[in-house]
């Protein structure tokens, strides 16, 4: 009788091992990670000495995967796994717990500083180039760590804390390591509280548009308004858009929030003089949502607002996430007469390249350059260069953050056509904006003479 083929002679131990193993990298998986932590907690039950765990996420892996292909992406993940495994000592463990997310356990690390230093070494190891066929690729990574201190903490609790720290690390920039702290937990609870209140406010229609004037710098005639979201909660009070907009973006609320504010803004702007335009910001996540264009057009149709009076502002950061998707959305909007502006120009990483790839109608000079135009020669030269470039490209220009007459005068000298800032008006609600327009209509336009 012939022996059974090797491939069918699998034991229960083999099957169990497969269940704890990541098929691509050969590392342990999430089940292995939790099992290791649970065993360590049991071993230290009578004397709960600290130990550290961490979660490491590859920064920018998706674009590399898209550029080189899925097979190359898998090869890079295997190389990452080899490097991480080689960096572990005999007591430590590394596992793969997500597509490009790895977790590690350091039983003999007893302090936050030691965890931070060990993890920084991992990030440094991963930063060396990766061979992909005849090409090379580079990656960075971010990591969050947490420490076990008491028997009340479970493997799930420790992982949640490490994930919270990882979230903070990715917000602070690539290549960062953050160790979980009690303050971080309090901040996370506050974010969750704001998120829940914001969801209720969006559902109830309680977020309002405010409008800031945009003027012709030479005549000071108002030519349009930028829409800015404002929210006051009955318990939290006024919440800064610098707080709730990032939360809306990160927690998936930005789409409904944006649609609510655009609907209210276009309803208000319908009653303005027809020569005034309305400017509205799109978030980075909306530029990767293929439904964004249809949603905007649907709102304009319902409110009866002329698409030719709408300008959409997008940032360079938003374009970088998925340039192909952003380009389709921009083309769809421009096709019906909506103008598109590039906001915060000069603060991104590849602005000139974006101007070549996308067709913009307007460019907005970031306030960082405007604020220092009177006493910083480099800022002055940068603004002059931007204006010359836009003239050559046939693009309108608006300078943001103008707060002083001297700044406005200098910009007029340089040939800048549009301006926005507290000098001309602060953001105000729809009723106050109508009052502003009535007052403006009663005054003749002022032609500034700059000597």
400 is catalytic: yes
- CA distance linking residue 282 with residue 303, whole number of Å: 19
Instruction: Read off the DSSP letter of residue 288.
Output: G
Kindly state the tokens that stand for 433. Answer: 């904006």
Spatial strand order in the sheet of 101-106: 93-96, 101-106, 51-59, 140-148, 177-179
* Contact status, residue 219 vs residue 253, Cβ threshold 8 Å: no
First CA to last CA distance, the chain: 106
- CA distance linking residue 55 with residue 167, whole number of Å: 10
Catalytic residue among 113, 357, 400, 405: 400
Which residues, 6 or more positions from 355, have their beta carbon under 8 angstroms from its beta carbon? 342, 363, 389, 393
Count of C-beta atoms within a 10 Å radius of residue 322? 19
Tokens 């009052």, located at residue: 435
Kindly state the tokens that stand for 254. Answer: 């930005």
The Cα-based distances of 156 to 20, 162, 399 in angstroms read: 17, 10, 50
Bridge partners of 312, per DSSP, are 280, 340
- Rounded to 10 deg, the angle between the 292-303 and 254-269 helix axes is 30
Handedness of CA 31, 34, 40, 46 (dihedral sign): negative
Instruction: Read off the DSSP letter of residue 262.
Output: H
CA-nearest of 188, 192, 190, 271 to 225 is: 271
CA-nearest of 166, 164, 209, 163 to 190 is: 164
Instruction: Read off the DSSP letter of residue 128.
Output: S
Kindly state the tokens that stand for 16. Answer: 């169990």
Cite the active site residues: 400
């Amino acid at each position: 009788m012939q022996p059974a083929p090797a491939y069918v002679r699998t034991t229960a131990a083999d099957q169990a091992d497969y269940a704890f193993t990541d098929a691509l990298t050969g590392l342990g998986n999430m089940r292995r990670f939790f099992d290791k932590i649970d065993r360590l907690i049991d071993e230290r039950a009578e004397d709960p000495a600290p130990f550290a765990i961490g979660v490491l996420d590859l920064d920018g892996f998706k674009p590399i995967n898209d550029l080189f292909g899925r097979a190359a992406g898998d090869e890079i993940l295997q190389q990452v796994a080899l490097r991480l495994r080689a960096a572990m000592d005999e007591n430590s463990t590394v596992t793969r717990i997500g597509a490009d997310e790895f977790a590690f356990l350091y039983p003999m690390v007893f302090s936050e500083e030691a965890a931070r230093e060990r993890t920084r070494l991992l990030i440094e190891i991963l930063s060396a180039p990766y061979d992909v066929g005849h090409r090379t690729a580079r990656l960075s990574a971010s990591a969050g760590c947490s420490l076990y201190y008491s028997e009340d903490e479970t493997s799930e609790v420790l992982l949640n804390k490490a994930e919270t720290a990882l979230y903070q690390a990715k917000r602070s920039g690539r290549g960062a390591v953050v160790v979980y702290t009690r303050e971080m937990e309090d901040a996370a609870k506050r974010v969750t509280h704001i998120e829940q209140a914001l969801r209720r406010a969006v559902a109830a229609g309680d977020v309002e548009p405010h409008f800031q004037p945009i003027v012709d710098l030479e005549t000071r005639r108002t030519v349009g308004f930028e829409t800015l979201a404002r929210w006051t909660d009955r318990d939290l009070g006024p919440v800064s858009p610098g707080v709730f907009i990032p939360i809306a973006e990160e927690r998936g609320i930005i789409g409904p929030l944006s649609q609510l504010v655009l609907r209210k803004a276009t309803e208000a702007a319908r009653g303005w003089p027809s020569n005034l335009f309305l400017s509205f910001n799109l978030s980075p996540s909306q530029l990767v949502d293929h439904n964004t264009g249809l949603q905007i057009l649907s709102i304009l149709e319902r409110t009866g607002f002329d698409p030719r009076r709408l300008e959409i502002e997008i940032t360079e950061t938003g374009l970088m996430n998925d340039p192909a998707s952003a380009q389709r959305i921009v083309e769809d909007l421009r096709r019906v007469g909506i103008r598109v502006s590039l906001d915060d120009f000069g603060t991104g990483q590849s602005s000139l390249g974006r101007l070549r790839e996308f067709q913009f109608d307007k460019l907005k000079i970031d306030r960082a350059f405007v604020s220092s135009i009177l006493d910083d020669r480099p800022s002055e030269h940068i603004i002059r260069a931007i204006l010359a470039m836009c003239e050559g490209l046939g693009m309108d220009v608006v300078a943001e953050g103008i707060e002083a007459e001297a700044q406005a005068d200098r910009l007029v000298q340089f040939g800048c056509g549009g301006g926005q800032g507290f000098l001309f008006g602060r953001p105000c609600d729809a009723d106050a904006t109508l009052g502003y327009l009535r007052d403006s209509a009663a005054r003749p336009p002022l032609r500034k003479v700059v000597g």
